[in-house]
Amino acid sequence: MEEKKVLFDVKNLKMYFPARGGKLVKAVDDVSFKIYEGETFGVVGESGCGKTTVGRTILGVYEQTSGEIIYRGKNTADFKAEDKMAFSKNCQMIFQDPAACLDPRMSIGTIVSEGLTVHYRNMSKAEREERVNQVLAYVGLTSDYASRFSHELSGGQRQRIGIARALAIEPGFIVCDEPIAALDVSIQAQVVNLLTRLQKELGLTYMFISHDLSMVRHISDRIAVMYLGSLVELGDNKSIYGNPMHPYTRALFSAIPEPDPYHSWLKSRVHLQGEIPSPINAPAGCKFCTRCPQATEQCKLEPPALREIESGHFVACHQIQPVNA
């Protein structure tokens, strides 16, 4: 069996933001994981859990508070100017809010070709226009859209422009931050099928961030579950959805709508009590202990480590012991 190549090796990543009174918002708090070449690495969790911040931090949009981001065996903190340029070409992002990331003063053609201008300086104007038309066609838009401006487009069309912009310079890794949230259901399937096809054809690697648990299950090879800035469970698609172990993961997955009315009656819904604590003042022990029905005194005092419970299946919970323990 061929050994998987590690694209990103993230170690003890922390991303803190200053808040009033000298306090810190611990958006990402000691997170470690690996992303392998050619896979789709799904990240799920409630709003505010740090999913988007993780994606932006590993791409260098934010400078991490501490921890290491190893890309192809090299620490991004040690990158020189030429390394940063190559990294920015190979690693792109599809942002969550298309309206906020498209310059209203620039035409769509200029927006999509901006990366080409930076990274392909020898490309002629005609070649750039041809590439823009090609990626617009990828996302279901005609070449006429190149002359339009973002305020003339619907939310779904803007999101497709964001996808086209990311694809234009042919990256190898894309952080997909809620890439289908603003699209109609029929278009969602088209975009996901497009991303899947491009991944196979071009050997792309994705970090797929989404609230849509069913879509994450459909597209992801491995999945990380986040809660209040921390990883609580990590494993392959089959183990995470087939055997969720962490109490938060079970509660999260129990909320997935069941289309079959018969099975929806049989499905047991887990109702969590209380509200999510503030990332400024998180619990001292396990961050989920204030809402977990299984919490003990140990949970309230000692943060659980992310441990391998089964082969490739990691869980951060004191109440769950490794199979061979």
**Which pLDDT band, with edges at 50, 70 and 90, does 68 fall under?**
very high
**What does the angle CA 252 – CA 254 – CA 258 come to, to the nearest 5 degrees?**
130
Question: By the 8 A CB rule, do 287 and 312 touch?
Answer: no
Helical H segments across 171-319, by residue range? 185-202, 213-219, 237-242, 247-254, 261-266, 297-301
**Which pLDDT band, with edges at 50, 70 and 90, does 265 fall under?**
very low
Instruction: Return the pLDDT at 277.
Output: 85
Give the residue from 145, 151, 140 showing the smallest Cα distance to 129. 145
Tokens of 238: 């089959």
293 to each of 53, 224, 245, how far by Cα in Å?
29, 22, 14
Classify 202 as helix, strand or coil: helix
Contacts (Cβ under 8 Å, ≥6 apart) of 290: 274, 277, 283
**CA 176/CA 52 separation, integer angstroms:** 9
Residue 293 gets which letter from DSSP? T
Tokens of 139: 């996302």
Evaluate if residue 56 carries a pLDDT over 70: yes
Instruction: Return the pLDDT at 148.
Output: 96
176-185, 199-208, 278-287: least confident range:
176-185
Helical H segments across the chain, by residue range? 51-58, 81-90, 108-119, 125-138, 155-168, 185-202, 213-219, 237-242, 247-254, 261-266, 297-301
7-16, 216-225, 270-279: least confident range:
270-279
Evaluate if residue 295 carries a pLDDT over 80: yes
Question: By the 8 A CB rule, do 276 and 46 touch?
Answer: yes
321 to each of 23, 313, 315, 316, 317, how far by Cα in Å?
35, 12, 9, 10, 8
CATH no. for 6-315:
3.40.50.300
Classify 44 as helix, strand or coil: strand
Instruction: Return the pLDDT at 257.
Output: 64
**Which pLDDT band, with edges at 50, 70 and 90, does 180 fall under?**
confident
Evaluate if residue 183 carries a pLDDT over 80: no
Instruction: Return the pLDDT at 307.
Output: 93
Instruction: Return the pLDDT at 1.
Output: 45
Q: What is the pLDDT of residues 97-136, one digit of tens each?
A: 777 889 999 999 999 999 999 999 899 999 999 999 999 9
Residue 4 gets which letter from DSSP? P
**CA 287/CA 282 separation, integer angstroms:** 6
Burial of 222 (0-12, 13-18, 19+ CB in 10 A): buried
User: How high is the mean pLDDT of the chain?
Assistant: 89
Instruction: Return the pLDDT at 25.
Output: 94
**Which pLDDT band, with edges at 50, 70 and 90, does 268 fall under?**
low
Instruction: Return the pLDDT at 110.
Output: 95
- Domain ranges within the chain, ordered by starting residue: 6-315
Evaluate if residue 263 carries a pLDDT over 60: no
What pTM, to 2 d.p., does this model score? 0.90
Instruction: Return the pLDDT at 261.
Output: 57
Neighbours of 310 (CB within 10 A): 14
